[in-house]
Amino acid sequence: MEKRQLGRSGLRVSRMALGTMSWGSETDSEEAASQLVAFVDAGGTLVDTADIYAEGECERLLGSLIADLVPRDDLVIATKAVARRTDGPFGGGASRGALLNALDGSLRRLGTDHIDLWQLHAWDSTVPLEETLSALEYAVSSGKVRYTGVSNYAGWQLATAASRTALVSAQVEYSLVERGVEREVVPAAIHHGIGLLPWAPLGRGVLTGKYRTGTPADSRGASPAYAGYVEQHRTDRAARIVEAVSTAADGLGTSPLVVALAWVRDRPGVVAPVVGARDTGQLTGSLAAEEITLPRAIKAALDDVSAIQFGYPERWPK
């Protein structure tokens, strides 16, 4: 798998990241092990998790697999600290105390002495940004963290944080059906030398085409826990995009999944889409995108059918 520099840093990562959000809940240890081995065998290095996934069980599972299956130095482990409020003495969220406690918890569950990429899961307006960023800086200076990033930041939030501390990545939802980040976040990331790690690059599953004629019983769209999550992208606009993706896939002799993933992977500023899978078969389908570069005409057609509206001030002066 091709490697890319993560932002304006010396860190090189695979141009696809393995997402593990379902590990420890929907995905058991045996299946997680199979996915990790398949990903590494394909040349993947970047594995993404978070302290909130399965209430910490995801990190524990990943930590146990690293010890047994994959040499630690062969992976770039990325995790996130959630900004969820609590009633504890540090108030939770992105306070210095809460973040450093969260970091120690992640290190313990992962069974490692350092995290390669530690990311703030969300902006916290209740804590001064200087305090939040001081936790990132301490984490790096202490050796517990190698690089830092953010997740789900708006453009102005990303630019403000990047002007005050060294960030190498920003995780954002980005796909053919969700291009809103192109208005402000993508330009801010490119300007500040920050690499984009798109989550939900398959439009929460919609871009695979599985919902074209209904809702499969074994899909997330049929799950009470995830139906609303998927429904956000089941729109008339999305349906037109899915048809265009399917047509392109037919012409290239591949799957809609591969086309959608290759499109976002090669967008300006993008380093590695974060791809999750319920089973190794799904992951193998995503890994097939490594073999494809979309022809210019197909990229242009997909750009056109999925285009979003730009206005003032993004397109000023005209």
pLDDT value for 214 = 78
Which regions of the chain are under pLDDT 50? Answer: none
Give the SS3 label for residue 29. Answer: helix
pLDDT value for 51 = 95
Q: Does CATH number 3.20.20.100 belong to domain 3-202+264-292? A: yes
pLDDT value for 86 = 63
Active site residues: 53
Nearest to 24, CA basis, from 14, 32, 16: 32
Q: How long, in residues, is the chain? A: 318
Residues ≥6 apart with Cβ < 8 Å to 155: 183, 184, 185, 187, 188
pLDDT tens profile 182-192: 999 999 999 99
CB 93 within 8 A of CB 84: yes
CB 93 within 8 A of CB 83: yes
pLDDT tens profile 92-112: 689 999 999 999 999 999 999
Q: What is the DSSP letter of 35?
A: H
pLDDT value for 286 = 97
Nearest to 307, CA basis, from 248, 209, 240, 252: 240
Alpha carbon distance 299, 293 (integer Å): 10
pLDDT value for 90 = 60
Q: What is the CA radius of gyration of the chain?
A: 19
Q: What is the DSSP letter of 74?
A: G
